[in-house]
């Protein structure tokens, strides 16, 4: 089912960048509510705290985005991402 997906540099970069962007959005916009001021926390100290819940959600969403990008790039044909990726290595070894 997931033959089109390969752990190469492109997919790793998509996952990392997506994770950081989604985590930033979630921590800044979903995490800023009015209850922080009641507990004595200011906004700056609350935004600098690491939220494990937001991090896990953003990693899951980033992996899904990476799967979608890999599938769209390959259009269901696994040879686009796998065979062509290794062709230059095979040619250079035989010479």
Asked if residue 4 belongs to a domain, the reply is: no
Q: Which domain holds residue 68?
A: 9-31+41-94
Model pTM score: 0.57
Asked if residue 2 belongs to a domain, the reply is: no
57-94 pLDDT per residue, tens: 889 998 888 888 877 777 755 555 555 555 555 555 55
CB 21 within 8 A of CB 65: no
Give the integer Cα–Cα distance in Å for 54 and 85.
34
12-48 pLDDT per residue, tens: 888 888 889 988 888 888 766 545 555 555 555 555 6
Assign 34 to helix, strand or coil: coil
Which pLDDT belongs to residue 55?
A: 86
Which pLDDT belongs to residue 27?
A: 84
Asked if residue 3 belongs to a domain, the reply is: no
Asked if residue 87 belongs to a domain, the reply is: yes
Asked if residue 36 belongs to a domain, the reply is: no
Looking at the structure of the chain, the number of domains it has is: 1
| The pLDDT of residue 95 is above 80 | no
């Amino acid at each position: 089912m997931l033959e089109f997906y390969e752990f190469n540099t492109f997919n790793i970069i998509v996952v990392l960048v997506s994770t950081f962007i989604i985590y930033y959005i979630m921590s800044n916009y979903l995490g800023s509510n009015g209850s922080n001021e009641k507990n004595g926390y200011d906004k700056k100290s609350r935004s600098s705290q690491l939220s494990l819940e937001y991090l896990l959600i953003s990693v899951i969403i980033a992996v899904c985005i990476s799967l979608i990008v890999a599938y769209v790039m390959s259009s269901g044909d696994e040879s686009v991402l796998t065979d062509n990726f290794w062709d230059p290595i095979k040619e250079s070894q035989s010479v």
